């Protein structure tokens, strides 16, 4: 990560007014309830106008902090890109309260909740046109999550998340889940770390939310060094994963091009990497030409035909999605923006704003046990890796980071055209516009067509 130390200001999530009472009722089905039965019960009890919902959710505001693995790392090491909500009332909580005709609850500082406070699987699938694909696709595909250190409760917490949302079991016993060290051992695991455990829970839950039928491989590096994390990526590929998510990053260096060939150059494998959480500026491995660099958005409900709207995630000049022109990595042939002569970040994007964050279950450590809301590009990277998995196995000689470029400007991607993540001398490096821009790339998924060769 860059050396600036971000503040932790209040974030205010604003939701656009829904256009009709019918839209308000439909919102029940995408509000993160575990099943349609929950929505039906709420509909039968309360008739809530769209205007009332909009008025309620407009009050939403939260405070958040970096996860315990997010401190600025020393050279040659990476930090996670996860942010945990610690206080206030999320927009999701405001909307749920309005639908029930109840007073909104709050997330107390450093305390988790006994029920979800962020977006759930139905929200994510609805927002990105994945509802049908999530129900029918992904079987037999494995999404690998690469993080540092051990989460002793990873499988147990994953089970809690999936059970709450009515997803099928994903366990070691049924072959859906596997946890290994960077050497592939299932018994000799790294030391435990509560900060990275939160990151791992976020990643596992995002795979579950986006591709419920996928198998999940968790590969734990023995430290957060670039070399150990890269070794874990190699192990994930060795074990057969065709989709690998990396929710971490650090400062660019002259060593990056050698890391590219040593760790991230895997033809036929879709590797994603978080663009960063400190606003405008490039970090690695998102800058690798062999990965899909994933930026972050603020995701809100809307009365438009999609039902959702997105803008660049930015909280302050030092908090928001990363982007920028790499100082070291060569520009891949499929990337053709005019002003950056080297690798440009990002390629695509997805939800990352903590104010519109995702629900996560984590029980290990003292920094929030139970249901939490998380944001950061640590949420968007595993989400996009899972979209690739829904789309099917990549071509054996392909580098799937190029796939979205073939669909650029089509309805397969939601073009994000508003917001910025800081100031820059070349506008599109940090400011959204029609077509390609740094903070959001070509946009966010609308179905699977932009993620297949």
**pLDDT reported for residue 170:** 98
CA–CA dist 444, 253 (Å, integer): 29
The β-bridge partners of 216 are: 143, 177
- The structure's pTM equals 0.88
- pLDDT score for 5: 36
Read off the pLDDT of residues 298-334 as tens digits, 9 standing for 90 and up. 998 888 999 899 999 999 889 999 999 999 999 999 9
Which helix (H) or strand (E) segment is 257 a member of?
helix 256-259
DSSP string, 187-203: SSPPPB-HHHHHHHHHH
pLDDT of residue 51: 56
pLDDT for the residue 104: 76
What pLDDT does residue 111 have?
67
Distance of alpha carbon 160 from its chain centroid, rounded? 19
- What tokens does 108 get? 């107390």
Contacts of 213 (CB under 8 A, 6+ apart): 134, 136, 137, 138, 139, 141, 168
Q: Which residues contact 307 (CB under 8 A, 6 or more apart)?
A: 23, 26, 30, 126, 127, 301
Confidence at residue 11, expressed as pLDDT on a 0 to 100 scale: 34
Residue 431 phi, psi dihedral angles, 5° rounding: -125, 130
Neighbours of 182 (CB within 10 A): 24
Q: Is 363 helix (H, G, I), strand (E, B) or coil?
A: coil
CA distance 330 to 453: 22
What is the pLDDT tens value at each position of the chain, 453 positions in all? 333 333 333 333 333 333 333 344 344 444 444 443 333 333 334 466 555 655 565 566 788 999 999 999 999 999 999 999 998 888 787 777 777 888 877 877 666 778 899 999 999 999 999 999 999 999 999 999 999 999 999 999 999 999 999 999 999 999 999 999 999 999 999 999 999 999 999 999 999 999 999 999 999 999 999 999 999 999 999 999 999 999 999 999 999 999 999 999 999 999 999 999 999 999 999 999 999 999 999 998 888 999 899 999 999 889 999 999 999 999 999 999 999 999 999 999 999 999 999 999 999 987 668 999 999 999 999 999 999 999 999 999 999 999 999 999 999 999 999 999 999 999 999 999 999 999 999 999 999 999 999
Local structure of 403: helix, strand or coil: helix
Burial of 136 (0-12, 13-18, 19+ CB in 10 A): exposed
Question: 131: helix, coil or strand?
Answer: helix
Beta strands 248-249 and 142-148 are unpaired
Cα gap 221→393, rounded to integer Å: 25
Which pLDDT tens digit goes with each residue over 363-391? 998 766 899 999 999 999 999 999 999 99
Query: Count of CB atoms within 10 A of residue 393's CB?
Result: 18
């Amino acid at each position: 990560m860059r050396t600036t130390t971000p503040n932790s200001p209040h974030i205010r999530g604003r939701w656009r007014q829904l256009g009709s009472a019918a839209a308000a009722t439909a919102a029940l089905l995408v509000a993160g309830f575990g099943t349609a039965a929950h929505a039906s019960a709420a509909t039968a009890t309360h008739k809530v106008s769209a205007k009332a919902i909009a008025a309620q959710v407009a009050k939403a505001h939260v405070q958040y902090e970096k996860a315990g693995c997010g401190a600025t790392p020393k050279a040659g090491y990476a930090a996670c890109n996860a942010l945990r909500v610690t206080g206030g009332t999320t927009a999701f909580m405001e909307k749920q309260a309005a639908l029930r005709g109840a007073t909104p609850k709050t997330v107390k500082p450093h305390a988790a909740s006994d029920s979800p406070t962020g977006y759930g699987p139905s929200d994510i699938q609805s927002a990105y046109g994945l509802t049908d694909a999530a129900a029918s696709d992904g079987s037999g595909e494995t999404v690998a999550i690469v993080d540092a250190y051990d989460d002793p409760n990873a499988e147990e917490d994953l089970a809690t998340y999936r059970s709450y949302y009515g997803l099928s079991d994903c366990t070691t016993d049924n072959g859906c889940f596997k946890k290994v060290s960077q050497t592939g051992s299932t018994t000799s695991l790294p030391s435990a770390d509560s900060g990275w455990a939160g990151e791992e829970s976020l990643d596992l839950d995002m795979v579950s939310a986006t591709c419920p039928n996928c198998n999940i491989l968790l590969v734990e590096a023995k430290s957060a060094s670039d070399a150990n994390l890269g070794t874990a990526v190699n192990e994930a590929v060795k074990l057969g994963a065709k989709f690998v998510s990396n929710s971490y990053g650090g400062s660019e260096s002259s060593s990056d091009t050698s890391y590219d060939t040593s760790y991230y150059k895997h033809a036929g494998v879709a590797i994603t990497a978080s663009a960063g959480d400190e606003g405008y500026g490039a970090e690695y491995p998102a800058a690798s030409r062999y990965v899909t660099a994933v930026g972050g958005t603020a995701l809100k409900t809307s009365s438009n035909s999609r039902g959702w709207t997105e803008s660049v995630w930015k909280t302050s000049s030092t908090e928001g999605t990363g982007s920028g022109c790499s100082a070291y990595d060569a520009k891949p042939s499929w990337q053709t923006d005019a002003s950056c002569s080297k690798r440009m970040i990002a390629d695509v994007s997805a939800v990352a704003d903590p104010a519109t964050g995702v629900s996560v279950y984590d029980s290990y450590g003292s920094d929030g046990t139970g249901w939490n809301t998380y944001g950061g590009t640590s949420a968007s990277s595993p989400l996009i890796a899972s979209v690739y998995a829904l789309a099917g196995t990549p071509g054996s000689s392909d580098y799937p980071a190029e796939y979205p470029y073939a669909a650029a400007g089509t309805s397969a991607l939601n073009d994000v055209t508003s917001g910025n993540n800081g100031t820059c001398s070349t506008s599109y490096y940090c400011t959204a516009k029609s077509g390609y821009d740094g903070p959001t790339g070509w946009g966010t998924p609308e179905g699977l067509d932009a993620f297949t060769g």
